[in-house]
Amino acid sequence: MGAAQSGPKITAQDRAVLDLKIQRDKVRQYQKRIEVVLDAEKRVAKESLAAGRKDRALIALRRRKYQEQLLVKTDQQLETLESLVSSVEFSLVQKDVMFGLQQGNSVLKEMHKEMSLEQVERLMEDTAEAVAYQREVDEMLMSSMTVEEEEAVQRELQQLQVEQLGMPAVPETVPVGQLPEVPTTEPEHMVPETGKVQETQPEGRVALEA
Amino acid sequence: MGLELAPYQAPSGFLLPSIHSWSAFYTYQPNPRTFLTQSQDWTSLLLAYARFRRLWLLALSDADAAAAGLGEGGKGTEWAEALHNPRLRPPRTISRKILLLVIEQLIASDRAIPDPPKQTSSVVLCWRSVPEWAGVLHEWALKTGQTNTILTLFEISNPAVESELSGMPEVLLRRAIAVLARTGKAQVIEGGEGGGVRFFP
């Protein structure tokens, strides 16, 4: 063994955890042994009582009581050991977390080094230029459009918005007799209203959609 | 022959194969070819029974104990259903000769580990093969989140929460760990006493 084994090195902490756990296992085994004795003493007491030997039954019960006390004591020891094991394991986890944080921090610092302020500014300038260029293109496209075309585009947008709101779905399913009131009044009000609103908005945005 | 050859449901719930109700099954068959089938039937019966009742140890003396029909709590009685058939007339028990040969065959085919080593009268049965146990062990470590921590062997075979590995003999456990260590999925830590193991995902 040993030569072919890979994996992390066995540290002193690992050995300490192992030793603690072995101690804990020993206490557990000891408890098992006591439990067997407890059962045996109880059986002896019962048998003695059945045979009419009260004194012997009493002795057995006293021994049983003593063993029970031992069991309680070992329980306490076991608790101490187990809490020690879990706090050691927890601090190992904490150590790992610390290491992870450290690494993350150094990576972040390096990233910041690469992202110097000047570079960011230059990049932002470039972006602003690109935006301006895009706007110019939009305006040129807009001016090449007639008023009717623009209106058609607006109508199309309107229709899309209505569809998105799920409006047309209603008239399709509702019986024909109930239709007239709803569709005739609403669209007529809505078209001019929203149309005005659209006109006041910057025109570049609308043209982008087309 | 008073008994029909039919599977029999033992009191433990294990379904004994029909051959278990055949008298000749319990005596050594001198014909090599017949014996081959006989020993194969015995090995599969013993492994299936061990698996069903989660029995780990098989000893040559279990045959005698089964025949003697030791009382409640007596050692060896757990094998009685498989090694002994009281419903036959006269009742039959596997002969020591067959049991010895069967145990030797189990050892030869890696389905049993001599414990203590270098003898053939007491073995730990591998009703799952050692690589299969290695898989179960690794799966358990993953599922219970026990990778990368040090575990003692006692802790694995006596877990606080009952598992497939409960009660597993140390010999078998060590073999399974060795399989995992070979593929870098476990690391054995030799301690002063007992020793430990660390699993990797």
Q: What is the CATH number of the domain that holds B151?
A: 1.10.10.10
Residue B23: which domain range? Answer: 8-125
Residue among A10, A11, A18, A93 with most chain B CBs within 10 A, to mutate: A18
- Hey, is the C-beta of A3 within 8 angstroms of any chain B C-beta? no
Q: What is the pLDDT of residue B1?
A: 45
Q: Express each pLDDT in B59-77 by its tens digit.
A: 888 877 776 765 444 444 6
Are both B39 and B24 inside the same structural domain?
A: yes
Give first-to-last CA distance, chain A, whole Å: 73
Pick the last residue of a domain from B108, B125, B142: B125
Same structural domain, B155 and B119: no
Residue B91: CATH number of its domain: 1.10.10.570
Q: Which of B121, B116, B102 is nearest to B47 (CA)?
A: B102
Is residue B41 located within the same domain as residue B119? Answer: yes
- Both B70 and B138 in a single domain? no
Q: What is the ipTM of this complex?
A: 0.71
Instruction: Give a yes or no: residue B76 inside a domain.
Output: yes
A106-151: per-residue pLDDT in tens?
Answer: 999 988 888 778 888 888 888 899 999 988 888 887 777 777 888 8
Q: How many angstroms separate the CA of residue A63 from the nearest CA in chain B? A: 25
Does residue B71 sit in the same domain as residue B12? yes
Exposed e or buried b for every residue in A137-168, given b needs 16+ CB within 10 A? ebeeeeeeeeeeebeebbeebbeeebeeeebe
Chain A residue with minimum CA distance to B178? A1
End residue of a domain, out of B71, B96, B125: B125
**Does the model's pTM come out above 0.80?**
no
Sorting pLDDT into bands at 50, 70 and 90, what band is A4?
very low
Q: Which residues contact A48 (CB under 8 A, 6 or more apart)?
A: A54, A56, A57, A60
**B140, B100: one domain:** no
User: Of B85, B103, B125, which residue is a domain's last?
Assistant: B125
**Rounded distance between C-alpha atoms, residue A73 and residue B64, angstroms:** 43
In angstroms, what separates the C-alpha of A17 from chain B's closest C-alpha? 7
Of A18, A28, A29, Cβ closest to residue B196? A18
Is residue B2 included in any domain, yes or no?
Answer: no
A9-53 per-position pLDDT tens digit? 778 888 888 888 888 888 888 888 888 888 888 888 888 888 888
Structural domains counted in chain B: 2
* Same domain membership, residue B48 and residue B118: yes
